[in-house]
Structure 1
């Protein structure tokens, strides 16, 4: 039942589209949507749950333990799939690639990664996934109905309308990067019942486990830089902001918080107090184990490339439209004194690091230096795009920028970086130099290339 994504084009989610961020909690929508439009929105709803989850969607270094194979070192990726059950069109589509996906880790696999707080110790996939789904649903409730499954009426080219269902599912893909490791004695203990209930009787990690390989990242002229924030007041504000984000993210995962939100759940004040105290202790443990806190808030020194990942997530989580702009949207653009042009409009967010000796510029989305030929667009440029609700109808760029800045108010850490701060910067020579770092935000337009010999 191989289904190419373009075949499943038009879907009535047993009724419609509307604003995807305000999906009604009922069985049917009011209009129609394309699967290709739904996929990026679902990925955004998953990624915005935390910076760690966004990294997990990209892939992080990890170790995986499978029965019969022992521990393997490699890259694990969170795979979001849309299961479509429609006569003649059933498939499991990887939302990141829009291709049919077939190979995922079984639930009796253990994962361990130093780059994800929930599995710094070996964790069963069977336990990891439900906890992850709860976190995503708490952050973006409108995604919940897709995890539960929804009835649809679908229309594909060369087909008639057909009834079926779609469901969002999560799984893990693991690509080994080491030589095959021989199974060890831990496998016998797992087969004797250690897997049941998700309990780990003993750590099956081999004593000579292969160290996690560094995750390959795109190279850039400034990705090697180390930044040390030196302004005490700025650093305190930044640390508090990240701590508040961590608390807001983790508190929604605590058992008492979820139980208090359940309907028809009778919880008296006296019964809640010890539960809240227990959850508070668990929250402290979660915060202490959080890589985000250790890397960003509690230490003054950070790799510039690591910082760009955190800032990219801060942009993307604020609104789906912001994520679209970061990636670029197709637009019609009219500049004063020019004809209409078609091309790609993109939000350019770049970090500028300066010392008396040298300046560095890094596009946080591409992790490359910004293109030298790109010039800022004037505020009175008219833009229109069918891909974004923010500029569905022609409007000046200044209005689009105003909508952007309004959304970014939800990310105070970005405003801190846009105001700039003092820093010590270390380059290839390992010497620290006094300087400054600042986040700059603008729009860039990449016009479509005209065919040779074609009149403008």
Structure 2
């Protein structure tokens, strides 16, 4: 139940990469990528106190199909995804997916059909499916911060086109998306020697966009 789920990743220099939005949003048009991640996270946390608690992590239990209830910690992830066009030296488009809080690739994600319940949070005080919670929170996010709407709901042309500028490279085009997911870290260790791993315990090297990870 608690296996990490990884998407295709290409790390990026958060503090040195510029992102230019298609129009002025969040008080200006061009941001350092690290700033933009913080703004997206802020937009999610301002939905409500209980949502903010979910972002920080809340004790809960979870169950997936063909599994049993497990105790652990659930966390709401605000995830920025970028699909960047290839540049000189790259033969393919690059896909980046980053958890706005940890600035790491998201993992330990629950499926939409999983059910979670927490005595400490009104969002899931009663057992609820993850998919239903996420749909509700996306609607509430659009109300709390209308600037996020374009990044949550695609038009017939897709998600908004942005531009990326990394050190030593030229501007390149990308599509940007904001997504919400829920992760679950079980309290039950994998074995008697090692504690359960968390996102922060799975460090990923941060390299310029376009360079490959060595595993």
TM over 0.5: yes
Kindly indicate whether the alpha-carbon contact (under 8 Å) linking 2:63 and 2:116 is maintained by their aligned counterparts in 1: yes
Contact 2:18/2:32 (CA < 8 Å) preserved in 1? yes
Among candidates 96, 99, 107, match of residue 363 of structure 1: 99
Please provide the CA RMSD for this pair.
2.2
Residue 222 of structure 1 contacts residue 360 of structure 1 at CA under 8 Å; is this kept in 2?
A: no
1:303 Cα shift? 0.8
Structure 2 residue 174 is the aligned partner of structure 1 residue 435: yes
Deviation at residue 320 of structure 1 after TM alignment: 0.8
Confirm or deny: 8 A CA contact 2:40 2:78 kept in the other structure: no
Give the match for residue 333 of structure 1. Answer: 62
User: Which of 184, 192, 198 in structure 2 is aligned with 1:452?
Assistant: 192
Residue of structure 1 equivalent to 2:163: 424
Indicate how the Cα distance of structure 1 residues 402 and 359 shifts in structure 2: closer, same or farther if over 3 A, else same: closer
Q: Which residue of 2 aligns with 1:226?
A: 18
Q: Report deviation, 1:338.
A: 0.7
**Which residue of the other structure, out of 382, 386, 390, is the alignment partner of 2:123?**
390
Distance (whole Å) between structure 2 residues aligned to residue 443 and residue 222 of structure 1: 25
Calculate the TM-score normalised by the size of structure 2.
0.69
Report the structure number with the largest CA radius of gyration: 1
* Deviation, structure 1 residue 435: 1.9
Counterpart in the other structure of 2:31:
302
Question: Relative to 1, partners in 2 of residues 1:396 and 1:352: Cα closer, same or farther, differing over 3 Å?
Answer: closer
Give the Cα separation in 1 of the matches to 2:127 and 2:139. Answer: 20
Compute the TM-score of the two structures, normalised by the length of structure 1.
0.34
In the aligned structure 1, how far is the partner of 2:41 from the partner of 2:12?
Answer: 18
Q: Quote the offset at 1:449 in angstroms.
A: 3.5
Work out which of the residue numbers 30, 44, 50 in structure 2 matches 1:321: 50
Please, which runs of 5 or more residues in structure 1 have no aligned partner?
1-219, 243-292
1:344 aligns with 2:78: no
Match of 1:407 in 2: 140
Higher relative contact order (CA 8 A, sep 6+): 2
Give the deviation of 1:391 after TM superposition: 1.4
Q: State the SS of the aligned residue for 2:150.
A: helix
Match of 2:111 among 374, 378, 381: 378
CA distance in 2, matches of 1:438, 1:403: 18
Question: Between Structure 1 and Structure 2, how many residues are aligned?
Answer: 168
Q: Which has the higher helix share?
A: 1
Provide the rounded CA distance (Å) in 1 between the counterparts of 2:63 and 2:84: 38
Deviation of residue 221 (structure 1)?
3.4
Distance 1:395 1:434, change over 3 A: closer
Alpha-carbon shift at residue 341 of structure 1 (Å): 0.9
3-state DSSP of counterpart to 2:144? coil
- Matched residue of 1:318: which SS? coil
Report the counterpart of residue 205 of structure 2 in structure 1: none
Q: Is the 8 A contact 1:317 1:323 kept in 2?
A: yes
Aligned-pair CA distance for 1:307:
0.9
CA 1:381–1:369 in structure 2 vs 1: closer, same or farther (change >3 Å)? closer
Aligned-pair CA distance for 1:367: 2.3
